[in-house]
Amino acid sequence: MHSTIADYVDDVATVANELPSRPVVIGHSMGGFIVQKYLESHSAPAGVLLGAAPSGGIWRSTLRTLRRRPRALLAETLTLSPYRLVGTLELARDHMFSAQMPEADVERYFALLQEDSHRAMLDMLVLNLPKPKRVTAPMLVLGAEHDHAFSPKEVRATARAYGTEAEIFPNMAHHMLLEPGWERVAERIDGWLRQLQSGAPKSPE
């Protein structure tokens, strides 16, 4: 796959334009990066980032992978295949799931993993970074304590770029909406959106 981040943003815009009203945009991981790029040039009632690729780029994540999983990063670079970063059960668990995640669930979700775009990875590294100052939508930024993809420090930096504070969920890893206790994450998003709709203050609880 050679899709760019701009290609994904265009897909989101195409769908959003077909809806009767502007949607709240919610994105996880690379999807969170796409949300940031979409909101640079499109209006929305709100944006929600879940373990999102940072506004400053994924270079810190790349350096961590180089230290922790150099062979996987080398394989990804040589084959232009991001799947190589999570291409075994061991890699997938280490990169995306917490120790609390049942093995049967890891195996089930691992079987659903697919190839991704190396070009989009380069966009997130340096070629097409978000411009937070262009974003006017209210933002909710959520992260996970044990996220090995994008650390709480990176999530907090992204939140600061959008003038808000990140909320970090304990005992969770990168796939926050698949982990045990995912309901807490969903409830926080629902509560924040309801609060936003009611006109109450939007600061984190």
Question: Is residue 197, in this structure, part of any structural domain at all?
Answer: no
* Average pLDDT rounded to a whole number, residues 76-91: 89
Question: Is residue 172, in this structure, part of any structural domain at all?
Answer: yes
| CA neighbor of 47 nearest in space, from 126, 128, 164 | 164
pLDDT on residue 199: 81
Any residues with CB less than 8 A from the CB of 179 and at least 6 apart, and which?
A: 97, 98, 100, 101, 144, 172, 173
Question: Is residue 28, in this structure, part of any structural domain at all?
Answer: no
* Average pLDDT rounded to a whole number, residues 107-128: 95
pLDDT on residue 83: 87
Question: What token pair was written down for 52?
Answer: 């999102």
Quickly count: other Cβ atoms within 10 Å of residue 160's Cβ. Answer: 14
> Is pLDDT above 80 for 172?
yes
SS (H, E, C) 167-198: EEECCCCCCCCCCCCHHHHHHHHHHHHHHHHH
Q: In which band, very low, low, confident or very high, does the pLDDT at 100 lie, cut at 50, 70 and 90?
A: very high
> Is pLDDT above 60 for 201?
no
Q: Are 144 and 168 in contact (CB under 8 A)?
A: yes
pLDDT on residue 200: 63
Question: Is residue 85, in this structure, part of any structural domain at all?
Answer: yes
Q: Are 21 and 84 in contact (CB under 8 A)?
A: no
Question: Is residue 24, in this structure, part of any structural domain at all?
Answer: no
Domain containing residue 150? 5-16+33-190
> Is pLDDT above 70 for 154?
yes
Give the whole-angstrom CA distance, residue 38 versus residue 126: 17
- Residue 82: CATH number of its domain: 3.40.50.1820
203 versus 72: the higher-pLDDT residue is 72
Q: Are 38 and 128 in contact (CB under 8 A)?
A: no
> Is pLDDT above 70 for 204?
no
Question: Is residue 99, in this structure, part of any structural domain at all?
Answer: yes
Please provide the average confidence, as pLDDT, over all residues in the chain: 94
Question: Is residue 196, in this structure, part of any structural domain at all?
Answer: no
Total domains in the chain come to: 1
Lowest mean pLDDT across 7-11, 22-26, 27-31, 60-64: 60-64
Question: Is residue 200, in this structure, part of any structural domain at all?
Answer: no
pLDDT on residue 205: 46
For the full predicted model, state whether its pTM sits above 0.85: yes
